[in-house]
Amino acid sequence: MQAETIMVVGAGLMGRGIAEVAACSGCRVIWGDVKAELVQQGLDEIRQSFARRVEKKKISKEEHDRLMGLLHANVIVAENLHAAARADMVIEAITENLSHKRELHATLGKICRPEAILVSNTSTLSITALGASSGRPGKFIGMHFFSPVPVMKVVEVIRGLLTSDETCQAALALTAKMGKEAVLAPDIPGFIVNRTILAWYGEAIDMVASGVRPEDIDRGWRLATNAAMGPLETADFSGLHVVLHAMDSVYEATGDAKFKAHPLLRNMVQAGMLGRKSGRGFYDYAKKK
Q: Is the dihedral of CA 41, 107, 27, 163 positive or negative?
A: positive
Concerning whether 156 is annotated as a catalytic residue, the answer is yes
What residues does 74 pair with on adjacent strands?
Answer: none
* H/E run at residue 232: helix 231-238
Is 194 catalytic? The answer is yes
Catalytic residue among 74, 120, 121, 123: 123
Active site residue 147: no
- Could you give the angle at the alpha carbon of 119 between the alpha carbons of 116 and 123, nearest 5°? 175
Peptide linkage before 114 cis (omega within 30 of 0): no
Q: At what angle do helices 127-134 and 98-111 cross, to 10 degrees?
A: 40
The Cα 29–Cα 6 span in angstroms is 5
Measuring CA to CA, how many Å separate 273 from each of 60, 199, 237, 278, 285? 37, 21, 12, 6, 11
123 annotated active-site: yes
**Looking at 20, 92, 156, 233, which residue is catalytic?**
156
Annotated active-site residue in 105, 144, 241, 262:
144
Which entry of 121, 126, 194, 238 is annotated as an active-site residue? Answer: 194
* Secondary structure element (H or E) that encloses residue 30, with its range: strand 28-32
Instruction: Supply the residues annotated as catalytic.
Output: 123, 144, 156, 194
